Amino acid sequence: MDALVISAAMPTIVAELGGLHLFSWVYSSYFLARAVSLPIFGKLIDLYKNRNLFISAIGLFIMSSVAAGCAINMITLIIARVFQGIAAGGIFALVYVVLADISLPQNRGRTLSFASSVWGIASVLGPTLGGFIVTYFSWRWIFFINLPLGLVSLLGIGAYFVELRTKKDNVSVDIAGVASLSTAILTFLFAFLLGGRNYAWISSPIIGLLILSVVSILVFIAIEHRAKDPILFIGFFRIRGFSTGNTAVFLSSFAIFSMFAFAPLFMQGAQGRSPMQVGVAMLSLSLGWSLGSLALGQFIDRVGRKGTAVTGAVCLFAGCAVTLTYTSITSIYYIFVNFFVIGIGMGWVALSTLVVVQSSLDENDLGVATSSNQFARTLGGAVGVGICGSFIDTRFSSLFEALSTSDLIRHLPTKLSGTRSGQIESLLHPEAQAAMPEALRLMVQGAVVDGVTGVFWTVTVAAGFCLLLCLFMPEEKK
């Protein structure tokens, strides 16, 4: 829920704290940290007691949530989100491994579909709760609410959690592998987050980051071939189910998390909707995921993992393609129905690919299989938000340049005079737009439409490639 509750609140957070150019970093910092921690936790799960790992991850999540709620600017919020992401990576990996442990291989689809529906319920509550909290309280409470929820989870884990697997003795953590993999992930993602905004795509910093990422990957591969307990056995990528399943969920997450990040900006900045209205509209994405997951257990038994993945990918691609028809006057009901279809598609792709990846490896590698899938999902979200954020930043930079030389800026009310010094993010509020001259309001809304339309095109292409990969997944063995 924490990854999604912020979606409806982001325009309000940006308006209060400033820093529109850091908009995508609130999401991306979370995904970056989660991407780095997932493969590490995946290996730790196979080596150490899961109870201790659970308590550590939840404790860190609680503390970082409080820090995020106390943020005084975008920088401190982003730092807190980094630690939230680290903790969330551990929690994600642990939950799905424990659920797989308590299920027979042939029943994992049903067990995980139930878990996914629970996640979907939290996702249903997330955007709506975010809009409600922002409207009637303060955006800071979307983070503070994690304190009581986290404490209840800690008490439950401490009192009732039972270890189900025997851990290895004399294990060693692959520190060199962790360092090289983390460097590769961070440099790769930083290149996409900074490219097109802070630096041109063809520039020394971006090219340097990409080269460092490639070198780090090569070093990681060499280290893993010699490591006693490698973080990730490279040979797994030669297994068709492992490689296609993880790549498909990468692309689907690229699409869905970009949608979660920037669709609220479209509805509030281009259509003038309130945070509560945005939250209700975003509810349909999570509602589709949740209700679709409830039906997934039966569906996957009838048509198999591949059939489920393909069906989900078709829904995802079709829904993303429909977003290309959105305008500033598109009905909220039209958006709601379309987002519901996208939610069903994402839920089915995410869950079926997880089962495919888990089934492709031995039981002893369940932690690595699960974390690799969650890592691919997180990486896709981070890359997607980073790339799509560049469309928004580029379009708003052009808008600010136009406003800085236009007489229209002088017609703003005094309370919006900060815009002259670059606080253009305040123009995204419906209240602010209501006070603008008609010509200025149309300029702002046009910039949002142009920027988010670029996002919609990008996620549609990603969803199309996801569908192709699902078609090439291996069939189940009868």
Give the pLDDT score at 418. Answer: 43
DSSP 477: P
- Distance, in Å, from the CA atom of 470 to the CA atom of 353, rounded to the nearest integer, reads 9
By the 8 A CB rule, do 274 and 3 touch? no
For residue 463, give Cα distances in angstroms to 236, 250, 469. Answer: 25, 10, 10
87 three-class SS? helix
Give the pLDDT score at 422. Answer: 41
The crossing angle, in degrees rounded to 10, of helices 108-136 and 332-360 is: 140
Instruction: Spell out the alpha helix ranges (H) of 137-239.
Output: 141-144, 146-160, 175-194, 204-226
- Distance, in Å, from the CA atom of 365 to the CA atom of 46, rounded to the nearest integer, reads 7
- Distance, in Å, from the CA atom of 471 to the CA atom of 478, rounded to the nearest integer, reads 19
- Distance, in Å, from the CA atom of 51 to the CA atom of 58, rounded to the nearest integer, reads 11
Q: How many CB atoms lie within 10 A of CB 222?
A: 14
Give the pLDDT score at 2. Answer: 60
For residue 222, give Cα distances in angstroms to 40, 209, 229, 230, 231. Answer: 18, 20, 14, 11, 12
Task: Give the pLDDT means over successive 10-residue stretches in the chain (478 positions).
Answer: 65 75 75 79 76 88 91 87 89 79 65 66 64 77 85 86 66 77 82 72 89 93 81 81 92 89 83 77 80 75 84 95 89 90 90 86 76 82 79 72 62 44 54 70 77 90 95 75
Q: HSE of 416 in the Cβ direction (CA atoms, 13 Å)? A: 21
Q: How many CB atoms lie within 10 A of CB 417?
A: 13
- Distance, in Å, from the CA atom of 332 to the CA atom of 460, rounded to the nearest integer, reads 20
Number of helical H runs and strand E runs in the chain: 16, 0
Give the pLDDT score at 421. Answer: 35
* Confidence (pTM): 0.74
435-474: burial string, b at 16+ Cβ within 10 Å, e else:
ebeeebbebbbebbbbbbbbbbbbbbebbbbbbebbeebb
| CA-wise closest residue to 90 among 116, 111, 64 | 64
Q: How many CB atoms lie within 10 A of CB 55?
A: 16
Give the pLDDT score at 172. Answer: 66
